[in-house]
Each structure stands twice: as structure tokens, then as C-alpha cells.
């Protein structure tokens, strides 16, 4: 079995280049998509301790797999824990008490390594189709099921910002000093090419402080000004801002967390009333009062 797929240096260079392509090309190709029950965490929640999000990877537009290796990673300070395949409580392995996949009918090998003492890697998934041979392809039983599940731990001291959980595409030397892919997938004898045959869609977890548009850990007049600039550009002028323009307007690289922080009313947009609320909150706090956001939208 190809437990670890070794590749030449030239092939590695090609795959490195392809892995940098946008996953937006994944609309009609088989896609490994990471998602969670919730992807926003407020600093208020973290005052009570670490937040645990229930994450999973789904395979959209499934077109066939015979073997797979992947590694889950997360931006610091996120930690991925307690991973396992999604099991079917109504189906067990013959002559065994082990529950089998809910997504796939059968498999020849399936292992989720929380940590490998051999390689030092965490959250490694190995999967091979039933009766693994070069042309074997796994058959789905529940296309809507997740493939694997895991917990995403957001520590209580996490700073405001956007953090990604993703499938690694790193190519590096293993303990035998040979090049090895963190991710490879085969359909029969063919290795699937990233962004051509298969795509990887990461998940963003946003940690935010309500009113803190600049994501610097405090609410001040700059947050109100930037919320107003965003409203003016997008809703008054009707501009479609580029990513760089959004970063400049919001005063932070963490666009998703900034938008959530600025949406004081919780109606899915940042408008003039949100900017006014942030300014009022800052002014009242500066005056020694203890304002409550909820009081602004009764």
C-alpha cells in the first residue's frame, strides 16, 4: 500500500504551484470542504473559558477515491483535537463492534492519527477503498454525511482576528530524507491534481470584540470612523471594495472579524446606526459609565 506517497523534486515544484491556486475553481470539481457548527467566537464567550467548535470535513461533488492522505492544521492559536471518521450507528464491521463509515459503504483501511510518534505530525487521515487495488474506488452510502469530525479549540486568551483551519498542501522531506506530500488523493491509478481534479476549501474562525472594528482589542473612536467609512463606501457610494481596500478601510487584515464586530445591531450589515452606536459606547465608557450594547437597540 502507498502509506506515504513519495514524489520527485520536479513533481513537487509543480504541485506547490498548483496548491497556490484559488479554491474558487472548486465549484464543479470534487472538493474537501471544512465547516463547523459555528465559526464566530466573541471575546465575551472566551471570558468563560476555551470555546470548542464542532468541525467536520465534507466531500462535495464526489467523483471517486481509491486512496487518500491528508493532514488537518490550524492557524495559531487554534488547536484541532478529537478527530475521527463519521460513524454509522446502525452499521458495524462484520464480526466486530466497530462502527463503519456513514459516508462510505466499505473501506480497506481507515486511520485517523491524532499524533504520530514516528513523524511528529498531528491529525493525519489515511483512507483506502474497499479491497484496495489500483482501480478500486470507494462507494458512497450517504453523500450528505461528513467524512471526518473534529473539535476546534479556541483558547480563552485568543486575540481578535481571523484564523483558518485547513488541509495542508505542504511538501517536505520525511524522516527518510525523501519528499512527501501532506495531501494526496487517487482515483484508481490516477493521482488527483489540486485545483484541476480536486480542491480544498478551508474554514475561517473569527474571534471578535463587539465594536472593535480594527481588531486591536479595544473600542475607540477609530472603530466608529472605520465603520462609517465602510458604510459610506459600500452602501452610499455602491463600491465593491477589493480585499486590500477593505483592509485599509477597516484598519485591519481581519476582514471577517471586523465586519462581525462592527455589526452592532446583528442584522448582517454595518451601517450608520452601527457607527453611531460604537461612538456612543466609546464616549460613555470614556466618561466612566458602563454602557450595554443591547440598550442601543431596544
User: Which conformational region is residue 266 in: left (phi greater than 0), alpha (psi within -120 to 50 degrees), or beta?
Assistant: left
Average pLDDT, the chain: 89
DSSP helix/strand/coil, 208: strand
**Is 2 within the bounds of a domain?**
no
Structure confidence by residue, pLDDT tens digits, 155-165: 999 999 999 99
**Is 174 within the bounds of a domain?**
yes
Query: What pLDDT does 297 receive?
Result: 79
Sheet holding 198-201, edge to edge: 79-85, 148-154, 51-60, 30-36, 198-201
Q: Which of 65, 57, 142, 149 is nearest to 108 (CA)?
A: 65
Structure confidence by residue, pLDDT tens digits, 29-39: 999 999 999 99
Structure confidence by residue, pLDDT tens digits, 126-160: 999 988 777 789 999 999 999 999 999 999 999 99
**Is 169 within the bounds of a domain?**
yes
Tell me: do 65 and 137 sit in the same domain: yes
Chain-centre distance for alpha carbon 37:
12
Domain boundary among 160, 185, 207: 207
Tell me: do 143 and 228 sit in the same domain: no
Residue 186 has pLDDT above 60, yes or no: yes
Query: What pLDDT does 178 receive?
Result: 84
Residue 106 has pLDDT above 80, yes or no: yes
Query: What pLDDT does 173 receive?
Result: 82
Q: Which residue range is the domain that position 217 belongs to?
A: 210-297
Domain boundary among 178, 207, 236: 207
Amino acid at each position: 500500500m502507498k502509506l506515504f506517497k513519495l514524489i520527485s523534486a520536479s513533481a513537487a515544484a509543480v504541485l506547490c504551484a498548483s496548491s497556490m491556486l484559488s479554491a474558487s475553481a472548486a465549484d464543479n470539481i470534487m472538493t474537501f470542504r471544512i465547516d463547523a457548527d459555528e465559526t464566530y467566537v466573541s471575546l465575551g464567550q472566551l471570558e468563560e473559558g476555551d470555546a470548542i467548535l464542532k468541525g467536520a470535513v465534507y466531500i462535495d461533488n464526489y467523483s471517486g477515491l481509491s486512496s487518500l492522505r491528508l493532514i488537518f492544521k490550524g492557524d495559531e492559536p487554534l488547536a484541532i483535537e478529537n478527530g475521527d471518521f463519521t460513524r454509522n450507528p446502525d452499521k458495524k464491521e462484520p464480526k466486530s463492534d466497530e462502527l463503519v463509515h456513514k459516508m462510505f459503504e466499505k473501506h480497506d483501511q481507515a486511520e485517523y492519527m491524532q499524533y504520530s510518534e514516528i513523524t511528529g505530525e498531528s491529525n493525519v487521515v489515511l483512507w483506502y477503498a474497499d479491497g484496495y487495488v489500483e482501480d478500486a474506488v470507494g462507494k458512497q452510502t450517504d453523500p450528505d454525511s461528513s467524512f471526518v469530525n473534529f473539535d476546534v479549540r479556541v483558547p480563552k486568551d485568543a486575540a481578535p482576528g481571523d484564523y483558518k483551519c485547513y488541509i495542508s498542501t505542504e511538501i517536505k522531506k520525511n524522516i527518510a530524507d525523501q519528499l512527501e506530500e501532506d495531501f494526496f488523493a487517487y482515483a484508481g491509478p490516477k493521482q488527483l491534481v489540486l485545483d484541476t481534479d480536486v480542491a480544498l476549501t478551508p474554514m475561517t474562525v473569527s474571534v471578535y470584540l463587539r465594536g472593535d472594528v480594527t481588531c486591536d482589542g479595544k473600542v475607540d473612536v477609530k472603530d466608529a470612523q472605520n465603520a462609517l467609512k465602510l458604510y459610506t463606501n459600500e452602501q452610499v457610494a455602491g463600491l465593491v471594495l477589493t480585499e486590500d481596500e477593505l483592509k485599509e478601510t477597516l484598519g485591519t487584515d481581519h476582514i471577517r472579524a471586523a465586519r462581525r464586530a462592527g455589526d452592532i445591531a446583528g442584522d448582517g450589515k454595518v451601517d450608520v446606526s452601527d457607527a453611531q452606536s460604537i461612538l456612543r459606547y466609546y464616549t460613555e465608557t470614556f466618561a466612566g459609565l458602563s454602557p450595554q450594547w443591547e440598550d442601543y437597540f431596544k
